């Protein structure tokens, strides 16, 4: 059994996931770096965690493939003995941004499989292990879902992404309700426009929108901004909250006239 607190971060090889994983490692956590298809980037993330004083475990697993979930959890428990924090970060945008009237079932199924179905059943599986391993002498485990302002801001050229993030909000509420009796708290962090591989192809568009006042704080968000929110939750900053949505979006959610 690890003496360190143990976090499982999905999609941790790049972008927001990597920022979260490295921040947890620097705070002394043991971090399971889950990745799908970027082994070199995942190895770099793991090396950074180890160099910062944390401990890492690399596990390749496709979150959309439910058969991979048991292996991901089994390797985590074999190495560290428990899971104190699950961060459901893995997510994708449509491969091609397509008008709502031309969107394909194949793109819908792919996005939903990775962004919603996979996290839903991984959370179910990890929550079972968390409940089974509860130790009254230790802080209760926590779960964090990485959502998006697209849960409520319509983008008609990526409808499947918006739907997946809107449903993730209900998933947060459902697991928060179900797991509260066990002392396990569930949160959602809702990023705004964040510098990452996902937003790279539309950088010029968002540069202009930000300059024009898309959000009150006129800058791009960074993976570090999201990681700071994760660390606050992980350190127990909200002990009387569950199902909480934490907006990390430069104030995008503020209605303005």
Residue 35 a catalytic site member: no
Query: Dihedral of CA 146/147/149/155: which sign?
Result: positive
Per-residue model confidence (pLDDT) at position 1: 78
Burial 115-142 (b: 16+ CB within 10 A, else e): bbbbbbebbeebbebbeeeeeeeeebbb
Beta-carbon contacts of 251 under 8 Å, excluding residues fewer than 6 positions away, are: 215, 216, 217
Summarize pLDDT for 117-160 with one digit per residue, the tens: 999 999 999 999 999 999 999 999 999 999 999 999 999 999 99
Per-residue model confidence (pLDDT) at position 134: 97
pLDDT at 211 over 80: yes
Q: Are 16 and 226 in contact (CB under 8 A)?
A: yes
pLDDT at 201 over 90: no
Catalytic site residue from 35, 120, 152, 161: 161
pTM over 0.75: yes
Task: Name the superfamily (CATH) of residues 6-248.
Answer: NAD(P)-binding Rossmann-like Domain (3.40.50.720)
Dump strand ranges (E) for 74-161: 85-88, 142-146
Summarize pLDDT for 44-89 with one digit per residue, the tens: 999 999 999 999 999 999 999 999 999 999 999 999 999 999 999 9
For residues 119 and 32, what is the distance between their CA atoms, to the nearest angstrom? 16
Summarize pLDDT for 84-123 with one digit per residue, the tens: 999 999 999 999 999 999 999 999 999 999 999 999 999 9
Cross-strand bridge partners of residue 246: 189
Per-residue model confidence (pLDDT) at position 224: 98
For the chain, domain boundaries: 6-248
For residues 12 and 31, what is the distance between their CA atoms, to the nearest angstrom? 10
pLDDT at 199 over 80: no
Residue 188: which pLDDT band, with cuts at 50, 70 and 90?
very high
The token pair at 15 is 């972008």
Strand, helix or coil at 45?
helix
**Nearest in space to 235 (alpha carbons), one of 171, 194, 187, 176:** 187
Query: Tokens 């082994």 sit at which residue?
Result: 39
Q: Are 150 and 94 in contact (CB under 8 A)?
A: no
């Amino acid at each position: 059994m690890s003496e360190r607190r143990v976090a499982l971060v999905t999609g941790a090889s790049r972008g927001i996931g990597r920022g979260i994983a490295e921040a947890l490692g620097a705070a002394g956590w043991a971090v399971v770096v889950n990745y799908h298809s970027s082994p070199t980037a995942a190895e770099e993330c793991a090396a950074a965690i180890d160099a910062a004083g944390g401990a890492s475990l690399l596990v390749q697993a496709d979150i959309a493939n439910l058969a991979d979930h048991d292996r991901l959890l089994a390797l985590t428990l074999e190495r560290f003995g428990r899971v104190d924090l699950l961060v459901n970060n893995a997510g994708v945008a449509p491969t091609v941004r397509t008008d709502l009237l031309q969107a394909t079932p194949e793109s819908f199924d792919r996005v939903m499989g990775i962004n919603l179905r996979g996290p839903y059943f991984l959370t179910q599986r990890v929550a079972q292990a968390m409940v089974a391993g509860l130790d009254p002498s230790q802080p209760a485990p926590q779960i964090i879902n990485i959502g998006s302002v697209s849960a409520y801001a319509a983008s008609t050229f990526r409808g499947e992404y918006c739907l997946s993030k809107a449903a993730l909000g209900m998933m947060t509420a459902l697991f928060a309700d179900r797991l509260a009796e066990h002392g396990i708290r569930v949160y959602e962090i809702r990023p705004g426009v964040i510098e990452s591989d996902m937003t790279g192809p539309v950088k010029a568009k968002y540069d202009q929108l930000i300059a024009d006042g898309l959000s009150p704080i006129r800058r791009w968000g960074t993976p570090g901004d999201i990681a700071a929110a994760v660390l606050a939750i992980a350190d127990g900053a909200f002990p009387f909250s569950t199902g909480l949505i934490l907006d990390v979006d430069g104030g995008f959610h503020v209605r303005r006239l």
